[in-house]
Structure 1
Amino acid sequence: MDQRLTIITLGVSDLKKSTDFYETKFGWKKSEFSNEHISFFILNGIQLAIYGRNELADDATVDSNGNGFKGFTLAYNTKSEKEVDQLIEELRKKGVEIVKEPQKVNWGGYSSYIADIDGNLWEIAFNPFLELDERGNVK
Structure 2
Amino acid sequence: MHAITLAVADVERSAEFYRALLDVEGSGIIGTEYPRSADQAGGTTAMFTLDDGLIVSVYAREDMALDSGVDLPHGPTSTIGHFVDSRAEADAFLERARSAGATMLASPYTRPWGMYSGFFQDPDGHLWEIVANPGGGDPASVG
TM range (shorter): 0.7 to 0.9
Aligned equivalents of 1:33, 1:67: Cα separation in 2:
23
C-alpha contact (below 8 Å) 2:17/2:100 kept by paired residues: no
Counterparts of residues 56-135 of structure 1 (less than 5 Å): 56-64=64-72, 66-70=73-77, 72-131=78-137
Aligned equivalents of 2:96, 2:28: Cα separation in 1:
27
**Per-residue displacement from partner, 1:13-62 (whole Å, max 9, x unpaired)?**
11111111111343223587833301111121221111011111111111
Q: Match for 2:53: what amino acid?
A: G
Displacement over 6 Å in runs of 4+: none
Q: Match for 1:41: what amino acid?
A: F
- Ranges in structure 2 where 5+ consecutive residues have no aligned partner: 33-43, 139-143
| TM-score normalised by the chain length of structure 1 | 0.77
Give the root-mean-square deviation of aligned CA atoms: 2.3
User: How far apart are 1:124 and its partner, in Å?
Assistant: 1.1
Which segment drifts farther, 88-97 or 122-131? 88-97
Partner of 1:41: 48
- Ranges in structure 1 where 5+ consecutive residues have no aligned partner: 133-139
Partner of 2:60: 52
**Per-residue displacement from partner, 1:63-93 (whole Å, max 9, x unpaired)?**
13x22331x1112211111221233234334
